[in-house]
Amino acid sequence: MNWQWFHRLGSPRWFYQKTSVLLPWLTFFTLAILLVGSVWGLAFAPADFKQGNSYRIIFLHVPAAFLSLAGYYVMAIAGAVGLIWRMKLAFVVMRSAAVIGAALTFLALISGAIWGKPTWGSWWVWDARITSMLVLFFLYLGVIALQEAYQSETTANNTSAILTLVGTVNIPIIYKSVDWWFTLHQPATLKLTQASTIHPSMLYPLLTMVVGFYLFYALALILYTRAEILKRECRTKWVAELCGVDVNNKISRA
């Protein structure tokens, strides 16, 4: 089997060049879908018969929560690929996913607190789902901290990758916490194996926002990875040429 395509994916230069073509289209579709979903959910979806208009934060909270979980798997898979195949790009993606995942998890926690105040009468409760989400946030921060804690890039990458793999234990706990323990948090609104418990007039704009957030995650991950590549590869010839630096002239002057 020819694995050339797989190892090509590990080339920072190849990734940077290929994503340059993809970015304009991805940016357009991301902004378009997020705009449609936001207007649809905030302006045209009906008010909930129990929660009134306060439920509309679901169009922000649920997609952010989805991506905070899915993004952890992206980070963990990137870390595993980096450990097994020693691909530089995989570690770059892992670091980029950690920053984006931490931001999305923080957004999910904050939006959940805002939603919880009128619903439960409290900004925060030590609910199983919420507490395990807080643990997820600290796991993201731990990966970021380990990346900065070591002078050796190799050591930082390896320890961060190990933490991401250990932390995957928390993801099933988050998914099943509502079913396993008594919790104030409502069960999942969107289900793969069962009919959804939300009315179609609210479901469709919510699904639109979920798709928009997935596209946004992909866009943010590509942009952050590209920036991290330029930072790590700043001494290479191809980055110098990309920045318009005459490497040969610079060497001859030195």
From the list 145, 147, 139, 111, the residue with the least C-alpha distance to 232 is: 147
Tokens of 88: 């530089």
* Cα–Cα distances in angstroms (integers) from residue 156 to residues 151, 160, 173, 229, in the given order: 8, 6, 27, 16
Q: Please write the tens of the pLDDT for every residue from 118-154.
A: 888 888 888 889 999 999 999 999 999 999 999 999 9
Q: What pLDDT, on a 0 to 100 scale, did the predictor assign at position 254?
A: 43
Q: What pLDDT, on a 0 to 100 scale, did the predictor assign at position 252?
A: 43
Tokens of 21: 């073509």
Say which amino acid occupies 232.
R
Mean pLDDT throughout 153-171? 96
Say which amino acid occupies 220.
A
Q: Please write the tens of the pLDDT for every residue from 170-218.
A: 999 998 887 777 666 676 666 655 667 788 999 999 999 999 999 999 9
What CA–CA distance (Å, rounded) separates 19 from 211? 20
Mean pLDDT throughout 22-29? 97
Q: What pLDDT, on a 0 to 100 scale, did the predictor assign at position 251?
A: 45
Tokens of 193: 């194996």
Say which amino acid occupies 246.
D
* Cα–Cα distances in angstroms (integers) from residue 226 to residues 27, 68, 170, in the given order: 15, 21, 29
Q: Please write the tens of the pLDDT for every residue from 36-95.
A: 999 999 999 999 988 889 899 999 999 999 999 999 999 999 999 999 998 989 999 999
pLDDT band at 253 (very low <50, low <70, confident <90, very high): very low
Q: What pLDDT, on a 0 to 100 scale, did the predictor assign at position 3?
A: 62
Q: Please write the tens of the pLDDT for every residue from 6-19.
A: 666 778 899 999 99
Place of tokens 């390896």: 158
Tokens of 233: 């590869």
For the chain, the straight-line distance linking the first and the last C-alpha, in angstroms and rounded, comes to 46
What CA–CA distance (Å, rounded) separates 12 from 23? 16
What CA–CA distance (Å, rounded) separates 34 from 64? 13
In SS3 terms, 97-113 reads as: HHHHHHHHHHHHHHHHH
pTM (global) more than 0.85: yes
Q: What pLDDT, on a 0 to 100 scale, did the predictor assign at position 132?
A: 94
